[in-house]
Chains A and B, each alone.
Chain A
Amino acid sequence: MKNTKLVAVVATGLGLALTVSACGSATSPGASGTPAASSGAAAGTPVKGGTLRLLSGTQTEHWDPQRTYVGAQIELGNRLFARTLTTWGTVKSDTEQAKLVADAATDTGKASDGGKTWAFTLKDGLKWEDGKAVTCDDFKYGISRTYAVDVITGGPNYAIGFIDIPTNADGSSQYAGPYKKTGQDLYDKAVTCSGNTITFKLKQPVGDFNNTVTMTAFGAFRADKDLGDKSNYQIFSNGPYKLQGTWEQNKGGTFVRNDQWDPKTDDIRKAYPDQITIDESLTAETLYERLIANKGDDQNAIAFPDNAPSTALANIQGGAAGRYVAVPSPYTRYLVPNYKSKVFSNEMARKALALATDRAAYVTAAGGKELAQPTNSMINPALPAFPNTPLPAGEKGDPAAAKALLQQAGMTLPVKITVTYRKNDTLDKAFAGLKLGWDAAGFDTQLVGIPAKQYYGTLQSPDSASKYDAYWAGWGADYPSASTVIAPLFDSRVNITAGGPGQDYGYFDNKEFNAAIDATNAIADGTVREKAWGDLDVQLTTKHYAAIPLIVDKFVFAKGSNVQDAYVNLTFTGYYDVATAWVKK
């Protein structure tokens, strides 16, 4: 379920162009002024102290660094208690692009052997909250936990994919992690510690491996504190804050200063507030009501990680003037036709669906033209690979042309289809509009809204292949490379098993396409490689119709009036970056 999990997206020139063009059509001054509005609010010199409150409507699934794959938790984990070898720097405005910087390491890594070997040297003075030094072995142990795929679930498996450890015939790694210790010698050969330097040997050159290690899954873990599955909410800090007491699911917790953390070893985390509390017992609606009202302690609060729900958008410009920001979301919302369904195994039916899709209705439901844009590319505009594929039949679609296609395909109209979406107010309305377009083209659409908690689980269940004809989904890149979009979604080899379709929800299975993915991965030159990913994107959406991209939306966040220097870090997960935030007294 990486769909909800985004690690990093770069606001490149293209990303900025999106912002600018979206603002160009803005009639309301608030929309074009949002970055300035938020930056303008920052005033005065940062002071230490106070409590920064994080208001959340989203339950934290994991705090275990190796099991963290949700952007919000990756950012908080990294900023509060789990330092990584490299990380994304802080920003001074909501549009600034963060740079890759050294964190626990002294630099951003040294590649050798053409990118097949990477070495990072740890800084001196790094300490755990009990005063013991953070060692190279702690990092080595932490990363090894990813291999215990039966215990350490939910996190990204980049380590398994990249580090040079042979695989079994079924694709699993020959190393089974630090608990079973099967194949430990293989791991010890691939990841070595010499003094304070950790060295990774990779299967193939990975030019941006130092981006990959920004993920907390590549963070340190103390072997004597490892309780396996029970470590999920046990936080053992090497950063500026530590958990006070225990973490309560659906409620939250309080982070207090970790006196063992030495600010001299850390250029990123300013750690101004004395305490950071997280309240995850709220809903997005209530927390934005509270932030707009801006009363009492809520003046010291920020929305994290929930963006403003569509129903709060109308109030936010007037009610939270100067305290909100609209930033491009890292996600692309798209529709996947199911290749196993009778209807959409037919390419002409898929094309008809694409032609009849009314993206304008979705844009309206998602909050209007200032907050959403129609797209026909799987790759988000913020990524360098964005191919900007033209819409197949304008914003509103062309049901007449789609109908002609269906008739040409020899189908009896109306063609019954069942389409699923994640149930919420916005998508209820968006899909009511999309249905009109599809029905006008000769489909007879039945909509199934599935609650958010079960949504991706349902898509990945093998039973769904025979029940539904098309699915709504959303995806954002893990880090600024389209390799984390096209391959994880459409490479049938890594996705489709007897247990379900993985993230290839529509069972798109094309040998030539898989071969093209391999060929693209092998391109050494970054610019050429990203362009090739863009070409593959175009193939998916205009040749195979394996995906119908719908919209790219914007996220709106709000904060209380006392919170200063909290900027949305688009490069690093796209939420408020707590590293620089401070609370005015």
Chain B
Amino acid sequence: MTTGVGYSAGTDDPMAPAAPTDSVRAIQGLSPGRLALRRLLKDRVTMVAFFVAIFFVVLALAAPLLEAAKLIDPQTPHPELLGGWGSMPIGPFGGVSPQHWMGVVPATGWDVFSRVIAGLTVSLVVATLAVMISVVVGTVLGIVSGAAGGRVDALLSRVIDFVLSFPQTLMLIALSTIVIDIIQAATGAPRTPASMAFMICVMGFFGWPYFARIIRGQVLSLKQREFIEAAQSLGARRGRIYFKELLPHLWAPILVYTTMVLPQNIATEAALGFLGVGIQSPTPSFGSILNDSVHYARADPAYFMFPGLTLFIVVLSFNLVGDGLRDALDPKADRQ
């Protein structure tokens, strides 16, 4: 674990400047951050995944601009590209063409590629905001639980168990319509923002206990350390110990678990959307696209394959980045 105490680099450091003789090697001190970065840069799979993930994030951020610039167009129907019973796309692979890289949607002629990119934005926004809720709530409660100990710890641990034992998917399915209606009635928001708010809150709510547990474990070992005892004996207040002394030592697990929960949230949104919960067509998201395309799984498998494959790559890249980060930041847990 990172402790804030500097290690010195080993003699086999490849980055060390070439020494004139073997006997006089320059000894260079490296911070744990530098060390982690070095390990990360050596990990080719993670680096590829990292760039793929960055690419998707940039694409998601740029999607509204691309749409404004008419480079992608998820809304304009193309009935001229459809034909036959059921208005199916004309041409192979669901109507793939130079203009429509992933074909067009049956019965409307929307461009699948544009919808996947626009859907990526919606899905990533939902997943990211949900992770942020989980991180903030989970970290605060994890620190409090671990550091305070005693009754507070016991109570918070039971709350965590309670939340973890909820059947999340069933709850989401059962509550979605009612809660979204309530949100709409209360705020007067249209359906899509209301559904997004619902998905964010629910996924955020069910995500925090994982963070809280991990943070709590870290805090339990950290609070035996001398610097905490020192802070306590100096009379530091609880808030200072929690957030000035403990928190800076927790950034590594938070980062690792954020990158691992993010793809999980993307997948959850897709799975729930697929079941007809949450964001609904015509607003594109991975869930709503897959929900529509699965009806055509037999007649137009390409419509299912392209968005499904994209979802697969997005989730895989984020997962690999998370894995790589964990390996880099926590060498003791190295799978070698």
CB neighbours (8 Å) of B162 from chain A are none
Q: A311-B299, A428-B282, A448-B191 are in contact. Are A364 and B107 (CB under 8 A)?
A: yes
Chain A 440-498 residues near chain B, CB threshold 8 A: 446-449
CA distance A429 to B108 in the complex (A): 7
Complex-state Cα separation, A446 to B280, whole angstroms: 14
Q: Is the CB of B282 within 8 A of A28?
A: no
The answer to whether B295 touches A361, judged by C-beta atoms less than 8 angstroms apart, is: no
Contacts of B298 in A (CB 8 A): 315
CA distance A316 to B79 in the complex (A): 21
B282 touches A432 (CB 8 A): yes
B84 within 8 A of A: yes
Beta-carbon contact of B86 and A361 below 8 Å: no
Contact of B82 with A by CB under 8 A: yes
What CA separation (Å) do A289 and B83 show in the bound complex? 21
| Contact among A367, A433, A449 for B108, CB-based, below 8 A | A433
Residues of B within 8 A of A313 (CB): 85-86
B contacts with A, residue count (CB < 8 A): 26
User: Is B190 an interface residue when CB atoms closer than 8 A count as contact?
Assistant: yes
Q: Which residues of A contact B86 (CB under 8 A)?
A: 310-314, 367-368, 371
| Chain B residue contacts of A426, Cβ below 8 A | 107
- Min C-beta distance of A66 to chain B, whole Å: 35
Q: Which of B85, B87, B88, B292 has the most CB of A within 10 A?
A: B85
The residue on A at minimum CB distance from B177 is A451
The answer to the question of B77 belonging to the interface, with a C-beta cut-off of 8 Å to chain A, is yes
- What is the bound-complex CA distance between A72 and B292, given in angstroms? 29
A163 part of interface (Cβ distance < 8 Å)? no
A425 at the interface (CB under 8 A from B): yes
With contact pairs A428-B281, A429-B282 given, residues A314 and B84 touching in the complex (Cβ less than 8 Å): yes
Nearest-CB residue, chain A, relative to B84: A28
Produce 1/0 per residue, A526-558, CB < 8 A to B.
Answer: 000000000000000000000000000000100
Please give the distance in Å from B54's CB to the nearest CB on chain A: 32
Is A360 close to B, CB under 8 A? Answer: yes
Q: Given the complex, which residues of A lie within 8 Å of B82, measured CB to CB?
A: 364, 368
Contact of A368 among B76, B85, B280, B295 (CB under 8 A): B85
Question: Is B282 within 8 A of A314, CB to CB?
Answer: no
- Collect the chain A residues with CB atoms within 8 Å of residue B273's CB: none
Let me know if B108 and A432 touch, CB within 8 A: yes
CA distance A371 to B83 in the complex (A): 11
Residue B75, interface by CB 8 Å: yes
Interface presence of A317 (CB below 8 A): yes
**A429 and B107: CB pair below 8 A?**
yes
Q: Report whether B87 and A365 are in contact in the complex, using a CB–CB cutoff of 8 Å.
A: yes
Contact between A314 and B85, CB atoms less than 8 A apart:
yes
CB-defined contacts of A402 to chain B, threshold 8 Å: none
B296 within 8 A of A: yes
Asked if A368 and B87 sit within 8 Å, CB to CB, the answer is yes
Q: With a CB–CB cut-off of 8 A, which chain A residues contact B299?
A: 311, 314-315
Contacts of B295 in A (CB 8 A): 285, 309, 311, 425
Q: Does A370 contact B (CB under 8 A)?
A: yes
Residues of A316-350 contacting chain B, CB below 8 A: 316-317
Q: Once bound together, how far apart are the Cα atoms of A495 and B299, in whole Å? A: 44
Does B95 touch A at the CB level, under 8 Å? no
> B190 near A314 (CB under 8 angstroms)?
no
Q: Cβ of A436 < 8 Å from any Cβ of B? A: yes
Residue B300, interface by CB 8 Å? yes
Residues of A with C-beta under 8 A to B324: none
A381 at the interface (CB under 8 A from B): no
Contact A370 B85 (CB under 8 A): yes
Q: Which residue of A lies closest to B295 (CB)?
A: A311
Contacts of A315 in B (CB 8 A): 298-299
> A364 to chain B: which residues have CB within 8 Å?
77, 79, 82, 87, 107-109
Residue of A whose beta carbon sits closest to that of B288: A428
Considering only CB atoms, which chain A residue lies closest to B77 in the complex? Answer: A433
B106 at interface by CB-CB < 8 Å: yes
State whether B85 touches A446 (Cβ < 8 A).
no
Interfacial residues of chain B within 83-107, with CB under 8 A of chain A in the complex: 83-88, 106-107
Chain B contacts of A425 at CB under 8 A?
Answer: 107, 281, 292, 295
Return 26 A-B CB contacts under 8 Å, by A number.
A27-B84, A311-B295, A314-B86, A315-B298, A361-B77, A361-B108, A364-B82, A364-B107, A367-B85, A367-B86, A367-B107, A368-B82, A368-B85, A368-B86, A368-B87, A371-B85, A425-B281, A425-B295, A428-B281, A429-B107, A429-B282, A432-B281, A433-B77, A433-B108, A436-B77, A447-B191
Taking A428-B282, A429-B281 as known contacts, 9 extra A-B pairs with beta carbons closer than 8 A to each other, sorted by chain A number, are: A31-B85, A312-B86, A313-B85, A314-B84, A314-B85, A314-B86, A314-B296, A361-B77, A429-B108
Give the top 8 A-B pairs by smallest Cβ distance, nearest first: A313-B86, A314-B299, A311-B295, A314-B86, A432-B282, A313-B85, A368-B87, A364-B79
Q: Which residues of A approach B to under 8 Å, CB–CB?
A: 27-28, 30-31, 285, 309-317, 360-361, 364-365, 367-368, 370-371, 425-426, 428-429, 432-433, 436, 446-449, 556
